Structure 1
Amino acid sequence: MTATEVKPGDPAAPPGSAVGGAAGSRARAARRRRDHLLFAAFVAPNFFFLLVFAYWPVIYNIYLSFTDWDMVSPVRNLVGLDNYTGLLTDPDFLGTLWTTVLFVVGVVVGSLVLGLATALLLNQRLRGRNAVRTLTFAPYVLSGAAVGTLWLFIFDPNYGLIRPLLAPLGLTAPAMMTDSNWALFGLILVYLWKTTGFVAVVYLAGLQGLPKDVFEAAALDGANAWTRLRRIVLPLLSPVTFFLLVICTISTFQAFDVIAVMTGGGPGTSTSILSWFIYDQGFRSFDAGRASASAMIMFVVLLVITGFQARFLERKVHYQ
């Protein structure tokens, strides 16, 4: 072998030669395989738990929605779309959908308006505002059972706190939780009390991050408080409002604990929203197919609402 000849695989092969290039490609491929295996090793446990506890329940729920099963019998009879057609032609279910719309709109819109007003107030230089901020947020971290029990006492027409508040006005305290005309309104009030503090804290964080020079320039131009709110504050807070709108809509659709403690979906079906209807069909009527179909309808409704919010409302969001 001459001095210029190099055998394949010879460590003395120059890096720029064909043999050196092939060896470099193999080394890079080996490094990529190692990186992929390392990535898979880190991701696999998370993906496994996500598959088992998130995706599989949804897939199994879809399957159950096409069956007739009492949650006891080992046999699940496939019934096709009967559960869906039965629900969409059931007056009780259609009434539940309408009640859900009223409840969600009342809680979401009310909490956004009250939360923003509270945040604007707490953003002022007031004595003891830190303590008020804490008290405002406190209801959000309380358990639903505790909140429901507290408000059952407040709404009691004979012994509750609502009676001495209305007595000086010459008004009789209504049976808020046992009167179908008042029960839904009472639940909306309770959820407003519980969620307004969270909305206020998020809005307050957004307010404190707004640029001060913009407000100073507006004040020099003679803009009053209402003009500054409408022309400056609300547009700059639009990302915060969009975030809260999505979060509050989803959480309100899932409301359950306070309803379970205070009304149990009653009187009659006056406070039965979708989340309670699903529970009632599955764990009180033992109709897993009907409950699963209701859950899928709720899933589709939430998907459509969230998609609409992301597709159309986000256009009005100003991120700069």
Structure 2
Amino acid sequence: MDQKAGISTNENVTVQKKHKLSAEARKEERAFWIFISPWIIGFLFFTGGPIIASLGLSFTNYNVIDAPKFTGFENFANLFNDKLFYKSLTVTAYYVVLAVPFSIIVGLALAVLLNQKVKGQAFFRTMFYAPSIISGVSVAFLWSWLLNPDFGIVNGLLSDLFGIEGPGWFTDTKTVIPSMVLMQLTAVGGTMVIFLASLQSLPAELYEAAAIDGANKVKQFFKITVPLISPVILFNTIMGIIGSFQVFTQAYIITRGGPDWMSYFYVLYLFDTAFGQFRMGYASAQAWILFIIIFTFTMLSLWASRKLVHYEYESK
């Protein structure tokens, strides 16, 4: 009887502990939902809700003033017969092909340089990162002045130092996209910081062993550094693709799509359709086509990287 009573008492204590723990867990759960609720409410009203609404509007003819009229797939059919759709998509693709590798290479190069132990390291890191947090509008005005073919400082230096006439930059159809890509130098600080963080997490003993085996710095970089940070390279590449497909501010502020539509990016076309022509249904269809394109390229990047990306803790 005593043994049974002891067992029963232990079970009661265990049950009480479980009830106490579950009460604490419920309290923590309530706190979690309270703290995360501002983000959830903001997402539903300002992101999730508009996304769902745009999907519905993409099947309608809607001009903001009149009620939406259901048109089925008419917007998508018209879009694939629209010359400006293909022109803007071609311009954007050209920019992506140049801007993404450019940003990755420059960002990684800066991260490697700023990872060296030199005097004033913190100052140089801050100096190279700071421009990436400046407003895109301010950056656009700055670059439009720097690369102005008539009074810009860049062409002035080319003329004074080398005696050559600078290009038209944003006013020439051949150089407008490369000029936009050059502007990416201002925004490469975020990519650089991510690369820098990954470089600082690499084990020093690997480099010491490689140095003992006679590997120079170049071999160490390509045989050790690049494979170990390949997941970070993949991440920055995907983020670069997503960001490059959505480029807008530079073209809107500096060129307005010119010259000769050579900087008429897809998002600029979407903006003109929605807020210039008030064809919200057509613009919603454009937005969903852009989503499908970005999603496809993201999935292709992940698929293509399976044999190129090295994960340290991969299961054997």
- Unaligned runs of at least 5 residues, structure 2: none
Change (3 A) 1:38 1:117: closer
- After superposition, the C-alpha distances for 1:86-109 in whole angstroms (9 at most, x for unaligned) are 111222111211111111221111
Corresponding letter in the other structure for 1:129: Q
Q: Is residue 67 of structure 1 aligned with residue 60 of structure 2?
A: yes
Confirm whether residue 249 of structure 1 aligns to residue 247 of structure 2: no
* Counterpart residue number, 1:283: 275
The offset of 1:315, in angstroms, is: 4.9
* Larger Rg computed on CA atoms: 1
| Cα distance, 1:37–1:82 mapped onto 2, change above 3 Å | farther
Instruction: Summarize the Cα distance change of 1:209–1:31 in structure 2 as closer, same or farther, 3 Å threshold.
Output: closer
1:141 paired residue among 130, 133, 145? 133
Do residues 307 (structure 1) and 270 (structure 2) align?
A: no
Change (3 A) 1:278 1:40: farther
Judged with a 3 Å threshold, the aligned counterparts in structure 2 of structure 1 residues 34 and 224 are, in CA distance, closer, same or farther, namely closer
Three-state SS of the structure 1 residue aligned to 2:104 is helix
Alignment deviations for residues 250-272 of structure 1 (CA, whole Å, 9 cap, x no partner): 22222222222111222232112
- Code of the residue aligned with 2:289 in structure 1: it is I
Aligned residues: 302
**Contact 1:83–1:293 under 8 Å retained in 2:** yes
CA 43–310 in structure 1, closer or farther in 2 if over 3 Å, else same = farther
Answering whether residue 199 of structure 2 is matched by residue 207 of structure 1, we say yes
Indicate how the Cα distance of structure 1 residues 208 and 90 shifts in structure 2: closer, same or farther if over 3 A, else same: same
How far did residue 58 of structure 1 move?
0.8
Q: Secondary structure of 2:122's partner?
A: helix
Identity across the alignment (%): 31
Equivalent position of 2:72 in the other structure? 80
Shift of 1:35: 6.3
Give the partner amino acid of 1:262. I
Corresponding residue to 1:175 among 168, 176, 190: 168
Which is worse superposed, 49-58 or 28-37?
A: 28-37
Q: Distance in 1 between matches of 2:207 and 2:88?
A: 46
Alpha-carbon spacing, 1:49–1:40, altered in 2? closer, same or farther (3 Å):
farther
Residue 211 (structure 1) shift: 0.9
CA distance in 2, matches of 1:29, 1:196: 53
Please tell me whether the aligned partners of residues 148 and 262 of structure 1 are also in contact (alpha carbons under 8 angstroms): yes
The alignment's TM-score, normalised by the length of structure 2, stands at 0.85
TM-score (norm 1): 0.84
* Paired amino acid for 2:55: I
Task: Let me know the Cα RMSD of the aligned residues.
Answer: 2.9
Q: Cα gap change, 1:30/1:47 in structure 2, threshold over 3 Å: closer, same or farther?
A: farther
Q: Which residue of 2 aligns with 1:113?
A: 105
* Residues 34 and 208 of structure 1: CA distance in aligned 2, closer, same or farther (over 3 Å): closer
SS at match of 1:83: helix
Q: Is the 8 A contact 1:242 1:314 kept in 2?
A: no
Deviation track 1:216-254 (CA, whole Å, cap 9, x = no partner) reads 111111112221111101001112212212222222222
